Amino acid sequence: MRPFILVLLVISSCVKPHKDDLLFSMLTGGASQDFLFTRPEPENTLTLAKRPRDRIVREIEKAQSRIDFWCYEFDEPEILKALVRARERGVTIRITGSPDQTYHEFTDAGFRPSIRAHSGLQHAKLLLIDHVQLISGTGNFTISDLFHNNNAFLFLEIAPETGEKIVDALKREQTDAPVINGLPYGGRMLVSPAKGRLIQSRLLQGVLNAHRRVQYMIFSHSDSVLTAALALKAREGISVEGVYDSDRAELEPESEGSILNQSLGLSASAVYVDGNRSLFNTADGVLHGGHLHHKTMIADDRVLTGSFNFSMNARDTNMEVYFEFSDPAALGMFESEFETIRNQAAVLGRSPVPEMATDVYRTSNGYCSVGSLQELVIFYGQAYGFGADHFLASDSNCVQLRNRGKASAGLSSGKEYPLPLGQSTYIHGMTRVGTFDDDKLPEASSGLALSRISKNWIWTKNAMAPTEAIFWTRKGLVKRHVTSISPYFHTFDDVDSLGNSIVFAGNGGNFQVGCATTGELTGPPADFRDAFAFETGEILECVTLE
């Protein structure tokens, strides 16, 4: 056996593996079977492009009791036939669609899709079979997306309880959709709009925390704060490479892709236009296909993908699914996909000298510059304390905090629950970079086991000796010295603005964190709780304020 393994290792070191090779499948532990990419080809030579569609059909044929199906566009006939056969076997099929689609293929076949009853699109693309087989990704279940557009499809075997949690998250997509941890390949899943701001924060922090490279493939990009983050990393010398769909408005002069490209100057980073030209005519003579339909980013060693475009609609109104994968096998698959698409793309030209912007300084209620104040973005905090303030171009040389733009990211986007900037970075006009120093939200090592709390005392379930309590309230940070009456009972001066708040208690900078509520935890404190759960896997214990 050992000589055979040695031969495999020697071959693997000399030959660049391709995800369709048996050897590559063996070396990646079967990842090539769990992540499939559409390979658009001329109509008369479609071969590998059939693989994702055929895999979907095979998985539907295995269904025994139920299929839960969330789709945006749909017209693939073989998948429809497989669903009909499953129904004839007695499988319960639940289909959820988008209010802007007709779904005549489903209704003609006797299905009655439920339609999302909210503003925005039902844009998720997800099949859940018997609660144990998850099929999702960037592509719709259409001829165009399965045969002629570039997409990623993932096929993951999951535990039944995880399947139940996914169904629950999609049902609660507007309010309190749970974080899905424990997917294969180090995978985690979020659903917007309930977790839209957290998804945006994850994408931004993926960029801002990158030390080696950021690579992305995107169908639609309208998040100006993400543009600023990408420009900032390119200025720091990190390789930033983005491939955009050639038929989208994202590459018009005022688009985010073009703004980013013009900020890159002489850096080694680049923006590309995709080379997919696989088109087909429908019966009514309309051309379809030929799109880069990915919504995928590689940030160092993590893959961020799903139905979530880089847009405010994806964050705030659409129903979307988002995945993160940290396993090297999954990373290798997406690296290979990015390389394939980049090699078929064309570099977008740009000026070697970007327009310069003036310095920025802080005032009591905003920011000013010596010259005209162009687009300004300030990044501050990390992990569950992350934030980004976005200010649109101004006719004057100052902007006020109350005029934050819609794209502002992270936990705080308005006058309430202001976050301290800490060691923050600003980018002005995509060209000028500077820093500010301020207090920062404390870093917490674990959840705070509270049993009771009021505006001037706390009971803890565990013995501790805190000397300081910090409360993040509607008015900002409030700090109090703590006196311990017993190992479990601790007092401090009144905090009149406590309300719904995040509570830090600790000694010597070593803090634990919990939350106080006046009923249901909402707003930025709820966003903090979600981000903390996503980062640590720990659910914060909240207690009602007395």
502 and 472, same domain (yes or no):
yes
18 located within any domain: no
Tell whether the torsion through CA atoms of 443, 449, 455 and 457 is positive or negative.
negative
201 located within any domain: yes
pLDDT of residue 5: 38
- The two beta strands, 320-325 and 346-347, are unpaired
> Which residue do the tokens 């005549």 mark?
104
528 located within any domain: yes
8 located within any domain: no
Q: Which two tokens stand for residue 439?
A: 């207090």
> Which residue do the tokens 């959709």 mark?
177
Cβ–Cβ under 8 Å, residues 390 and 404: yes
Q: Which residues contact 520 (CB under 8 A, 6 or more apart)?
A: none
pLDDT of residue 250: 63
Q: Which residues contact 187 (CB under 8 A, 6 or more apart)?
A: 156, 323, 324, 325, 326, 327, 330
Residue 99 sits in a domain whose CATH number is 3.30.870.10
490 located within any domain: yes
Q: Which of 130, 184, 163, 505 is nearest to 323 (CA)?
A: 184
- Work out the angle at residue 500's Cα, subtended by the Cα atoms of residues 499 and 503, and round it to the nearest 5 degrees: 100
Give me the amino acid identity at 166.
Answer: I
Number of structural domains in the chain:
4
Cβ–Cβ under 8 Å, residues 221 and 311: yes
pLDDT of residue 50: 65
The pLDDT profile of the chain, 546 residues, written as one tens digit per residue, is: 444 433 333 333 343 333 343 444 444 456 778 999 998 876 555 565 568 999 999 999 999 999 999 999 999 999 999 999 999 999 999 999 999 999 999 999 999 999 999 999 999 999 999 999 999 999 999 999 999 999 999 999 999 999 999 999 999 999 889 889 899 999 999 999 999 999 999 999 999 999 999 999 999 999 999 999 999 999 999 999 999 998 765 678 889 999 999 999 889 999 999 999 888 887 777 778 899 999 999 999 999 999 999 999 999 999 999 999 999 999 999 999 999 999 999 999 988 877 677 788 888 788 888 877 878 999 988 888 899 999 887 777 888 887 888 899 988 656 788 887 888 898 888 888 888 887 788 888 789 999 999 999 999 999 999 999 999 999 889 999 999 999 999 999 999 889 999 999 998 889 999 999 998 888 889 889 989 988 888 888 899 999
Cβ–Cβ under 8 Å, residues 298 and 213: yes
- Alpha-helical segments (H) within 317-450: 328-343
335 and 205, same domain (yes or no):
yes
200 and 342, same domain (yes or no):
yes
426 and 454, same domain (yes or no):
no
Domain residue limits at 324: 192-347
294 located within any domain: yes
Considering all CA atoms of the chain, what is the largest pairwise distance in Å, rounded to the nearest integer?
80
Could you say which of 347, 374, 401 is where a domain stops?
A: 347
pLDDT of residue 25: 44
Query: Please, which residues bridge with residue 271 across strands?
Result: 242
Could you say which of 404, 436, 468 is where a domain stops?
A: 436
243 and 268, same domain (yes or no):
yes
Could you say which of 177, 204, 230 is where a domain stops?
A: 177
Cβ–Cβ under 8 Å, residues 450 and 543: yes
196 and 332, same domain (yes or no):
yes
67 and 114, same domain (yes or no):
yes
Give me the amino acid identity at 34.
Answer: D
pLDDT of residue 519: 87
Give me the amino acid identity at 235.
Answer: R
Give me the amino acid identity at 270.
Answer: A
34 and 140, same domain (yes or no):
yes
State whether residue 152 is helix, strand or coil. strand
pTM for this predicted structure: 0.90
354 located within any domain: no
Q: Cβ of 102: how many Cβ atoms within 10 Å?
A: 10
408 and 468, same domain (yes or no):
no
476 located within any domain: yes
User: CA 82, CA 56: separation in Å to the nearest integer?
Assistant: 9
268 and 380, same domain (yes or no):
no
Positions of E strands within 206-359: 213-218, 239-244, 270-273, 279-281, 287-289, 295-299, 302-306, 320-325, 346-347
365 and 490, same domain (yes or no):
no
Residue 500 sits in a domain whose CATH number is 2.60.40
333 and 209, same domain (yes or no):
yes
